[in-house]
Chain A
Amino acid sequence: MDAATLLYQGLVGLNVAMSLWLVAAGLTFAFGVLGILNFAHGSLYMLGAYLGFTFYGSLDLDFWLALPLAAVTVGLLGVLLERFFFRPIYHLDEAYHLILTFGFVLILADAVRIGWGGVFLIPPLPSGLAGTVRILGRGFSVYNLFVIAAGLAVAVALWLLLDRTWWGRKVRATASDREMASTLGIDTHRLFSVVFGLAAAIAGLGGALSIPVQVVTPGVGTAIIIEAFIITVIGGLGNLSGAFVGALIVGLATAYGILFFPAIELFLVYLIMALVLLFRPQGLFSGR
């Protein structure tokens, strides 16, 4: 196998990683701040894809308008979910967080069936991003380059937001000590709503971004959430930069696994997840 093949597969892995990162980012962010591991996060991604289809595919809005619209709509739904369903259960055992959000997995799977029917949907590729470029002597999708760029952009934006703004400081303060933050006059209720809305919006964005290259069906939510869990775990639950690296690991393991170890590719990611949990439960790259 020559170097070009290896490199090209690495680029494909990067694309897989960035698609997954867009799902895992919000999941990790919400868990880091709110302490809720949201089973329904994949379902919010799915909802983003359906809304993306409606705005861009059915209503024929511009793709660049459809993306933020889908993200914002899912974000608002996230705010409602947080306000009415999660707030009453923060004090409960984490088991109940998982179970409650699992309930929403079931609800949303049928809700989109009612809204959009059971047949899968896919709109045409947006015209500016439909082409193919030559990389390493082979074709590579322009749209996939765009997804890679979008994933990186979300990573940078989140980092700037959390690291460089006053609001980011408040979020970090609340994440590390909720009561202390409250005492210091931070409106944690409001903060939680915004954080969860933002997390949901990122999921919605990821879903809407997927719609020109992946069909959306009512089964997408459950298919994608486990991969997001794996990434969140590898990165250390709640650790955003860890999750970014986790996405890279899973993306590359998937791409190279299919190339080199097709027989155990399915097994491989769960093995990585278990090993990390056993030996580095704080995540692979956490100093703690």
Chain B
Amino acid sequence: MDRSPRPLLVLMVLMLLVAACGQDGAPGGEAGDGQAADGEECQLEDDEVRVGVQGSMSGAHADYGAQIEMGATMAAEEINADGGVLGCPIELEFADTELDPEVGTTNARRFVNEFGAHFVVGVDSSGVALALAPVMEELDRIFIATHAATEKLTEVAVFEEGNESVFRVSVPVYQDAIAAALVFKDMPELTRFATIGADYEYGRTAWAMFKETLSQHRDDVEFVAEAWAPFLTNDFNPHISTVMAEDPDFLFVTPWAGEAVTLLRQAQGAGVFDSIDVWWQAMGGSVDVLEGVTESVQADAYQGKLWATGRYLFNYPDTERNQRFVQTFRERFDRLPNYSAATTYTAIQAIRAAVAEAGSLETDAVIAELEGLQLPSPLGDEFHIRAEDHQGVYSVPVGRVVYDEEFGMACVCTDLTVFEPEEYYRQPPFES
């Protein structure tokens, strides 16, 4: 057997190098350490408010987890500098869901049982959120979802099955599907609709909801083609040619993050924008996607036909609160805040408000305060949490993607349409 020490040496050097580089890994990290400022005595049963924060922090969707981490870090820093929650500091712990439900539930258990977390916040994928819901009920702690979009989380788990432990501050799939249908129903020139869909619950549900809403308002539309791409697709050319064979004038596109950018780039090459009128990129308002398409938008590769929304857009609402949030965030992290950052920031603020009101960290008491909570937030001055289904309520516009000098990148900044939440949020009781 070759017992040469060289491979070991090489390996050790590699690991050392990595250890050296790994030092400046995550942003924040230690947020919330120590006492809250101005030395006020902590008035809660524990001497700190512990929040476990998890998101996708590795792989193709790592930026969503990073944004979740940044949003939580910033909220905790601000709260702790401002005297904490009833004098108690907020302490954060972070974990990677790896977009795997089993990992997500394991993290939650570690948060609660080891770290002593009073709250679990975050989660990007619907699968992780749905798996987490019953676990949080078992652990008797509150989970606030800040990105996962499945309507089942609030409509079924909370409203139908009565899982009181689950809340969501981010707008669900209503935004991707119903708001879009309400905008495009008023463009009579659009009649042939097709989808390049994410081949999982999110993409399927969004397309079904979109079709349903559009059909309620228009009887002259046709749904001409569907192509479904599984998670982590990197070659969408066959999907593009499949739907383009039916000559649609509207494309409903749900693959998100890097996949959205790949898809747009490949569609651009195939001349898709010469023959369609609207490309609806459901979560195209995500900062990572906007950064990825900026150069193409500047070169007018999409001919102004790219429409998008998000669960929050940094350029809306035009309130002082939001402007301050965006500015502070940019100064702190040198990035624009994505929706997962804004919603997670809001979730931490909601925790502060509810705990302060309840005067206790006891789960039932905090749930009671979170239900119906009114919380002016970067998401909107009118932001509140519905008591019936624990869903956060605010409006995000639908609009066209253009290049913006002020932000120095592409943004959903023009032809904005804003609906009142009542117009496009589904209302309890939800009849299917």
Contact = CB atoms under 8 A, between A and B. Distances in A.
Interface of A: 1, 5, 8-9, 12-13, 15-16, 19, 80, 84-85, 87-88, 107, 109-111, 113-115, 118-120, 122, 124-125, 130, 132, 138-144, 210, 212-215, 217-220, 223-224, 254-255, 258-259, 262, 266
Contact of A120 (B274, B292, B299): B292
A142 B238 contact: no
Interface stretch (B124-132, B255-263, B325-333, B410-418): B255-263
Contacts of A262: 226-228
Given A120-B60, A217-B59, A258 B239 contact: yes
A13 B238 contact: yes
B261 A122 contact: yes
Contacts, number: 145
Contact of B235 (A19, A122, A138): A19
Interface in B325-355: none
A111 to B, nearest CB: 7
A215 B235 contact: no
B242 A125 contact: no
A64 to B, nearest CB: 19
A58 B258 CA distance: 18
A118 B245 contact: no
Interface stretch (B4-12, B79-87, B372-380): B4-12
B265 A12 contact: no
Given A8-B245, A84-B10, A224-B234, A113 B269 contact: no
Nearest to A111: B18
Specify the main secondary structure of chain B where it touches its partner.
Answer: helix
A139 B265 contact: no
B155 interface: no
B305 to A, nearest CB: 14
A12 B60 contact: no
A78 B238 CA distance: 32
Contact of B227 (A1, A125, A141, A258): A258
Interface string B257-290: 1110110011001111011000000000000100
A2 to B, nearest CB: 9
Contacts of A217: 59-60, 62, 258
B145 interface: no
B60 A218 contact: yes
A230 B390 CA distance: 46
B274 A132 contact: yes
Given A85-B7, A262-B228, A114 B22 contact: yes
A9 B230 contact: no
B274 A220 contact: no
B58 interface: yes
B262 A214 contact: yes
A219 B271 contact: no
A9 B242 contact: yes
Contact of B232 (A8, A210, A219, A255): A219
A12 B237 contact: yes
A255 B291 CA distance: 30
A88 B2 contact: yes
B63 interface: yes
A71 to B, nearest CB: 19
Contact of A215 (B57, B237, B275, B292): B292
Contacts of B234: 210, 214-215, 220, 223-224
Contacts of A130: 269
Interface string B354-370: 00000000000000000
B241 interface: yes
A215 B258 contact: yes
Contacts of A5: 245
A140 B270 contact: yes
